[in-house]
Amino acid sequence: MVLGATFVLTTLMAAFCAKAAPLSATTDTPLAFILLGDSTTNPGAGWGNGFCSSLVDVPPEYCSNLAVSGATTGTCFESGTFDTGLKTIREFVAAQRRPLVTIQFGHNDQKIAPPESMGQVRIE
């Protein structure tokens, strides 16, 4: 069975968050956001910076837009963006923030290319 790379990416990030977030996630814990994605989220042209600037109770340094124009779920891993997202989660948790991660890919994953370039995983 072939699983979509966005599903795999989301599952990996969620598993990491559950394992790496020792603070109790209550409504009293201040939020932080990490945005991963392609040009639709990217700081130059996407919704990400507008989202970050619209947050009333979240200082700008706690909304990290890591989206990259042209990115795919596969290049998110290859470029190190995923690892940067994990590092940012750790930093936000250390600052006693509750990180929430948005992941938006798909526009560039429609390219005609070998499955490996899109980060798909084959499970036997």
Residues 59-82 have a mean pLDDT of: 90
Q: Which residue stretches of 21-104 are H helix?
A: 48-54, 73-78, 81-94
**Total domain count, the chain:** 1
Who wins on pLDDT, 66 or 7? 66
- Residue 70 pLDDT more than 70? yes
Question: What pLDDT was estimated at residue 17?
Answer: 53
- Structural domain span for residue 71: 2-122
Residues 39-46 have a mean pLDDT of: 88
Q: What is the pLDDT of residues 47-68, one digit of tens each?
A: 999 999 999 889 999 999 999 9
Predicted TM-score (pTM) of this structure: 0.70
- Residue 123 pLDDT more than 50? no
Tokens 């979509």 identify what position?
4
Who wins on pLDDT, 1 or 57? 57
Q: What does residue 13 show for φ and ψ, rounded to 5 degrees?
A: -65, -40
Question: What pLDDT was estimated at residue 16?
Answer: 53
Residues 20-27 have a mean pLDDT of: 52
Q: Quick check: 116 and 48 in contact, CB under 8 A?
A: no
